[in-house]
Amino acid sequence: MKIMLLGATGLTGGKVLDGLLAREEVSLVVTPVRRPLSLSHPKLEQHQIDFDHLDDHASLFEVDIIICCLGTTISKAGSAEVFRKVDYGYAMKAAGLGQAKGVKGFILMSAIAASPSSRVFYNRVKGELEEGIKALGFPYLSIYQPSLLLGDRNEHRTAEALGMKAMPLINRALIGPLERFRAIEADTVARAMVNEVRDLRPENPEKPLVRIHDYADIVVMAQKNPGA
């Protein structure tokens, strides 16, 4: 199985990469990156590219499955416009190139409360991305909607760092319908994605299958026996 991983230098993407490289059924992991990975592996094929010119690298998208963990913050991007270009523009362009090459499955990292009608800019962009990729009609589309991601990041995000300290207490209070808003370890999300790749079998290309995963579902998927 040949996989493309977008966002391999990020918190979750890096953990997904490690998991994919350890899977026997994964023969190659293609990683378009803006900065090189400090990792070498026989099954890893990395390409340092300019994401503003993804069309120039269309041949890279001849894969079986695309996993998209691309994402930034408005503060890191510097403006809402640049944030949208990364989180929506790059991801949509990549999905379109994959669809044109006959990619069978697309796994998308989105966010809790993503909605194209949201008054929150971040959630609105994520929701527009979800709807845009759904419209492409991949045989299999899996959308992950985690809340705050926990884990050690390369860059410092003040708001998220404060949130992480409070989350153990807050998580215990989020029960019932509110459970979906619980913070979750990036490693848990990554393990769920890797397990889903193992099990991904688009059965009927004429009837696209769309799956949405939030906190409880992601936790269950991550606990699947990796050797099954």
Point out the residues that are catalytic. Answer: 122, 126
The DSSP output letter for 85 is I
Three-class DSSP labels, 155-206: CCCHHHHHHHHHHHHHHHHCCHHHHHHCCEEHHHHHHHHHHHHHHCCCCCCC
Half-sphere exposure of 73 toward its Cβ, with a 13 Å CA cutoff?
11
Question: Which amino acid belongs to residue 215?
Answer: Y
- β-partners of residue 33 are 48
Reading the block at residue 10, the tokens are: 């990020």
Closest CA to 132 of 102, 82, 98: 98
Straight-line distance from the first to the last Cα atom of the chain, in angstroms, rounded to the nearest whole number: 17
What tokens does 147 get? 């809340």
List the one residue out of 57, 92, 67, 82 whose CA is nearest residue 8. 67
Q: Are 74 and 83 in contact (CB under 8 A)?
A: yes
